[in-house]
Amino acid sequence: MSIYRDKVCVITGAASGMGRELAKQLAAQGAVLAISDVDTQGLEETRKMVGAGNRILVDVLDVSDKQAVIDYPAKVEAALGPADYVFNNAGMTRVGDVLNTPLESMEQVMDVNFWGVIRMTKVFLPQLIRTKGVVTNISSLFGLIAYSGQAHYCASKFAVRGFTETLALEMKDSGTGVGVCCVHPGGVKTNVARNAIVDYIPDNVSREGLDKDFDELAITSVDAAVQIILDGTAKRKKRILIGKDAKVASFLQRLMPIKYQWILGKYTKDRVKI
Chain center to CA of 95: 18
Active site residue 147: no
* 3-class SS of residue 257: coil
Which segments of the chain are extended strands (E)?
8-11, 32-37, 56-60, 85-88, 94-95, 134-138, 179-185, 197-198, 239-242
Q: How far apart are CA 143 and CA 146, in angstroms?
A: 8
| Residue 171, CB-side half-sphere exposure with 13 Å CA sphere | 24
> Among residues 85, 147, 153, 260, which one is catalytic?
153
| Residue 134, CB-side half-sphere exposure with 13 Å CA sphere | 23
Annotated active-site positions, please? 153
